[in-house]
Amino acid sequence: MDNNYAKEMAHFIKEYDQFIRPYNDAIKLVKIRLEALDSDYGQLHRHNPIHQIIHRVKSLDSIIKKLALRGYPTQIEYAKEYLTDIAGVRVITYYQQDVYEVVRALKSCLDVVKESDYIRSPKESGYRSYHMIVVVPVHYLKGIEYYPVELQIRTLTMDCWASIEHQLHYKTLKDEFYGEISKKFQQYSEELNMISLKMEAIYAQQNTRLPMPTEFKEDS
């Protein structure tokens, strides 16, 4: 039985490796576009909008669990049809205006199938980010195949809040004070956003590339 189990697991791993390869290739192509964009802006404006690019692909276990959670067949071949977040790229920028510069540039070179602006319309939790799902053409000898990549584009302060909130969320999910803690995180999200915009306003005063955030034009 142990031998059969080992063979079965080896088959699943091989199947996953073959399945996930084009998603990794799609991520590489998106990263090339982002790095070129960042370099181009650096040359033109003496400012690199992108602080960091992080990427990941879902594990086999994560893919199967998500298919099951959504009521789909749990064979991996169904994942491409039903899941759009198997490949993910997070772009962390310095300023809020940088987020929209990156979004605008990506729209000019990639096909966007879905987008959600959680910066102008934050989630109830206080979460802020700009989400996009783009379809990337991956070229192979047998032809072109298209794969979705989920992008999350946000500032350093937004990413800081999201990372800490995510970590504490699972530690306090069953805590009797969870509701009170959630309200505090909503408040901290707003406070961090205001601080970030104030710092962006200072930068805007020294650099004509960025328009000064509307909230601070009268105060400056």
Angle between helices 2-45 and 96-109 (to 10 degrees): 110
Rounded Cα distance, 145 and 135, in Å: 10
Cβ-based neighbours of 100, under 8 Å, separated by 6 or more: 130
Contact 134, 111 (CB under 8 A): yes
| Residue 176, SS3 per DSSP | coil
Task: For residues 133 and 115, give the distance between their C-alpha atoms in angstroms, rounded to a whole number.
Answer: 6
Catalytic residue among 8, 150, 165, 176: 150
Q: What are phi and psi of 163, to 5 degrees?
A: -65, -45
- In whole angstroms, what is the distance from residue 129 CA to residue 92 CA? 10
Contact 189, 154 (CB under 8 A): no
Based on the residue annotation, tell me whether 150 is a catalytic residue of this protein.
yes
Q: What is the 3-state secondary structure (H, E, C) of 58-126?
A: CCHHHHHHHHHHCCCCCCHHHHHHHCCCCEEEEEEECCHHHHHHHHHHHHHHCEEEEEEECCCCCCCCC
Residue in this structure with the two tokens 């899941």, named with its chain if needed: 83
Catalytic residues: 150
